[in-house]
Amino acid sequence: MSLTVVGSVAFDALETPFGKRDKVLGGAATHFGLSASFFTEVNAVGVVGGDFTDAEWDVFRRHDINTDDVEVVADGKTFFWQGRYDYDMNTAHTLDTQLNVFETFDPKLSDRSRGSKLLFLANILPMLQKQVREQCPDAKFVAMDTMNFWISSMKDAVIETIKVVDCIIINDAEARQLTDEPSIYKAAQAIMDLGLKAVVIKRGEYGATLFTRDGYFAVPAYPLESVFDPTGAGDTFAGGFMGYLAAQNQINDDTMRRAMVYGSVMASFNVEKFGTERVDSLDYPEINQRFRDFKRMTHFDDIPFERVAAA
């Protein structure tokens, strides 16, 4: 099944304890699309400026991502974000944000994009997310992202959007903020009560957790010696998760659990280099090997405990 993502395509300037990049390809739709493209056909919907060159377009072409719905504003500039990470890679320090053409982004979906069976609404204005959802009435499974800024400034709009999707993929701090619940479990249940089929809560270096109506599943983060750049890791996770689901004949608890592992696999590659560098050069044997690594890491024998009486 095909998959459409609506979100930002951007340039990032990044600085971490392991190095610095003045300008790399980024954006939620970019990271998501690259990750999902290893599993299914991807349509990207976004907007860029005239400063978007062939070098950037080639990244999408190499992964057969359909960019017909990425609008080009010839006299504008592409969305730009500059950030710094210290040794706590869970926290990004924003140094500069220039919305540029993204400030007036009005998603325009072709019949091809609207016809996708799966849809991911990346982190954009919640009212726009809802409008896009309404343009895709036949989508079989729709997931969304959001952020703390939207939750604090327009919480009602975020909740109204959540009510028309099937799944939300957010981090633990956003889940607590959205529900005013300190417990992740209670927060997830409160979000589920809005009518969702699934809630995925990302927990950075501690992995991610899936909540559904019938169960609970947790996957750890892949152990890495070095994390060069966590930018886009959450979107890469979502791309692996949704991409895998798009490649399945049905979506249920079992397929969503495997999708969680593939999402974690893809995110673990993303952080190994800056921007899109690592995922862009990835191949299928590497993905499959890391999936097997996850399986070994989380496997244990199903032997019940029996207490031995003292002699």
Nearest to 112 by CA among 143, 72, 69: 69
Predicted pLDDT at 27: 97
300 found inside a domain: no
Residue type, 2: S
Residue 144: domain span: 3-295
In terms of DSSP bridges, do strands 216-219 and 208-212 run parallel, antiparallel, or are they unpaired? antiparallel
CATH number of the domain within which 280 lies:
3.40.1190.20
Task: Tell me, yes or no, whether 48 lies in a domain.
Answer: yes
**pLDDT confidence bin for 300, thresholds 50/70/90:** confident
Residue 84 pairs with which residues in a beta bridge? 15, 93
> Do the domain assignments include residue 142?
yes
Q: How many domains does the chain have?
A: 1
Amino acid 225: pLDDT: 80
Q: 264-294, pLDDT tens digit by residue?
A: 999 999 999 999 999 999 999 999 999 999 9
The reply to whether 185 falls in a domain is: yes
List, for residues 37-61, the tens digit of each pLDDT value.
999 999 999 999 999 999 999 999 9
253, burial (CB in 10 Å: exposed 0-12, middle 13-18, buried 19+) = middle
What is the rounded end-to-end Cα distance, in angstroms, of the chain? 62
pLDDT of residue 260: 97
Residue 62 within a domain: yes
310 within domain boundaries: no
